[in-house]
Amino acid sequence: MAYQPIENYGIIGDLHTLALVGMNGSIDWLCCPYFDSPSVFAAILDDKKGGHFKIAPTAEGVTHKQFYWPETNVLITRFLSADGVGEITDYMPIDRSPKGIGQHQVIRRVSAVRGTMTFRMECYPAFNYARDEHQMQVTPDGACFYSQTLSLGLATRVPLKQDGKGVTAEFGLDEGQTATFLLQDVPQGSGCGISLSEQEATESFKQTVEYWRRWIAKCTYTGRWREVVHRSALALKLLTFKPTGAIVAAPTCSLPEGVGGERNWDYRFTWVRDAAFTVYGLMRIGLTEEAAQFMHWLEARCRELNPDGSLQIMYGIDGRHTLTEETLDHLDGYKGSRPVRVGNGAYDQLQLDIYGELMDSVYLYNKYGSPIGYDFWTYLRQLINWVCDNWQRKDEGVWEVRGGQQHFIYSKLMCWVAIDRGLRLADKRSFPADRDRWLKVRDQIYEEIMTKGWNPKRQAFVQHYGSDSLDAANLMMPLVFFLSPTDPRMLKTLDAINSSPENGGLVSNSLVYRYNVEETADGLRGEEGTFNICTFWLVEALTRAGRDNRARLEEARLMFEQMLGYANHLGLYAEETGHSGEALGNFPQAFTHLALISAAFNLDRSLGARG
């Protein structure tokens, strides 16, 4: 198999785990039973050893299409050939089918829509990131795969042939005929399960479609970019871990920020930083239930503070604290991008900005969702006092640099936000608070940012104290109400960032780099693409600055529309966009889709206000 471009994938899931399905009909990434479990298919990280589950026509010269069943996460992959048209309908039932013996199922329905078509099916699991051996058995009902830690059953009425540690099948379909494959985790020794009848498969499909349509009907956004916002919301729901309400940053690990490079990380965890964007983004479009679930997850983390009273920057989706990083040297990595990392060594970094994002999310939830309780407030008060004690420390910053700690401006900004939102919340709810101290420290941080964060030579806010480098994270200043969007210093920073790299800026054809990698000591080699979330931050900063300036508002709209053109064929974004418009980094990324929702909401509102 050859590697597919990252943007060639769609996603299906069941709110516990998720699969990447290529336009070529191959499932090249699936972890089971959960997002952060070891993989059973990982061809996207090693096209020879990683394992895959592929169904595709045998004919040559086939054209591939892919789209979602309207308003759902049911994925259709279509094949057009000279002899006919075939489709695979892929989905994971949210509630397992009556015949399901496993907790997690992938259902693949293959059909001939027009004419006739011959398909080949290949299922080669590779358990535990292709580290564990497994046994297999072909039965009249399908095939069973047994490893030390996990067993899978593939149930189908199509006759299977054993091929090494996998199975294959070749079958023809006439117009109107279908074949169904049900892959599920099974108890050891229980067999592969019973294949679905045509009626049962149809009923399962209808139930899954109905679930997604009922869910997206709760979305209240009706603006100019309704379809785009709905797709982002549906993607975010797929990244949600139902048992806890946590949202993974991305469902993949070690997809490279630069092909062939070492900037490859595991994103299958939940960052506290995502809190404000998650709660704000979901509540803005009416999805208050998901915001409430995530807030409960955050409250639980606040009850598990570190011995020094601090929070971790990220946690496992189940709330676990230790996320030990290791490299999988037996895997080649996507197109040779090594090392392949699982776990994330940044979990114990000091990143002071997380307290601002946490407090902003709590403040917004208290305002637009439900009032928080006193017990939760006691933990928040403790955290705000921790910020007052520690805001002057250096840290690794929002970008989790591995080149040494600095006094990052964004970290100071979000420390200011933490204290500011604490004061606002205390006043609004009449909570007991250390107001005098908080006011004093908040003002001290503000003045320090304005003196040490402002670079007179660059006429802009820079990355850290003493730096000449720009940082796209500073676009957040007006978004968190630290500065007015039309403050002269903010407008100058906006203009500096919104210049080409050749002119010292961070913007290339409406796409935004997070910083200049040649000027920033982030401890890593190689290049990276533009950061999609930063582009949406710039759109929103321009939008807010454009409320009294039509030209800036129109620039924001054009930039937003151009950015939409860099989504993949399904409207999904990876973390970054490369020089040739290709997707880079883990895919799809929650942060990017949350920023898209926020930018779309505010841009639509501003355009409506201007008429």
Q: What are the structure tokens assigned to 465, written together?
A: 């104290």
CA distances from 43 to 30, 162, 321, 538, 575 (A): 10, 20, 29, 35, 20
The model's pLDDT over 373-395, given as tens digits with 9 standing for 90+, comes to 999 999 999 999 999 999 999 99
Position 611 confidence tier, pLDDT thresholds 50, 70, 90 = low
β-bridge partners, 55: 121
Q: Show Cβ contacts of residue 374 under 8 Å, excluding neighbours closer than 6 positions.
A: 431
Residue 457 has pLDDT above 70, yes or no: yes
Residue 146 φ then ψ, to 5°: -120, 120
Residue with tokens 């690990």: 253
Position 610 confidence tier, pLDDT thresholds 50, 70, 90 = low
- Average of pLDDT values for 160-168? 97
The model's pLDDT over 59-76, given as tens digits with 9 standing for 90+, comes to 999 999 999 999 999 999
User: CB atoms < 10 A from the CB of 329, how many?
Assistant: 10
**For the sheet containing 151-156, what is the strand order?**
63-68, 75-80, 84-91, 105-115, 178-185, 151-156, 142-147, 134-139
Q: What is the pLDDT of residue 100?
A: 46
* Pair 156, 180: CB distance under 8 Å: yes
Residue with tokens 């564990």: 132
Is residue 409 helix, strand or coil?
helix
- Average of pLDDT values for 429-450? 99
Is residue 402 helix, strand or coil?
coil
Q: Show Cβ contacts of residue 334 under 8 Å, excluding neighbours closer than 6 positions.
A: 3, 6, 44, 45, 254, 255, 256, 259, 264
The model's pLDDT over 467-502, given as tens digits with 9 standing for 90+, comes to 999 999 999 999 999 999 999 999 999 999 999 999
The model's pLDDT over 81-130, given as tens digits with 9 standing for 90+, comes to 999 999 999 999 997 544 444 589 999 999 999 999 999 999 999 999 99
The model's pLDDT over 325-337, given as tens digits with 9 standing for 90+, comes to 999 999 999 999 9
**Where is 575: in which H helix or E strand?**
none
| Span between the terminal Cα atoms of the chain, in Å | 53
Closest by CA to 170, choosing from 90, 220, 113, 110, is 110
Q: Please, what is the average pLDDT of the chain?
A: 94
Q: What is the pLDDT of residue 524?
A: 60
Residue 523 has pLDDT above 70, yes or no: no
* Cis-peptide, bond into residue 588, ω within 30° of zero: yes
Q: Which domains does the chain have, with CATH numbers?
A: 6-215 (2.70.98.50), 218-610 (1.50.10.10)
The span from the CA of 553 to the CA of 555, in Å, is 5
Q: Where are the alpha helices (DSSP H) in 189-247?
A: 198-216, 226-238
Closest by CA to 531, choosing from 552, 497, 507, is 507
The span from the CA of 320 to the CA of 32, in Å, is 18
The model's pLDDT over 260-299, given as tens digits with 9 standing for 90+, comes to 988 899 999 999 988 778 888 899 999 999 999 999 999 9
Position 404 confidence tier, pLDDT thresholds 50, 70, 90 = confident
Q: What are the structure tokens assigned to 238, written together?
A: 């797929």
Residues 425/427/433/435 CA torsion (nearest 10 deg): 110
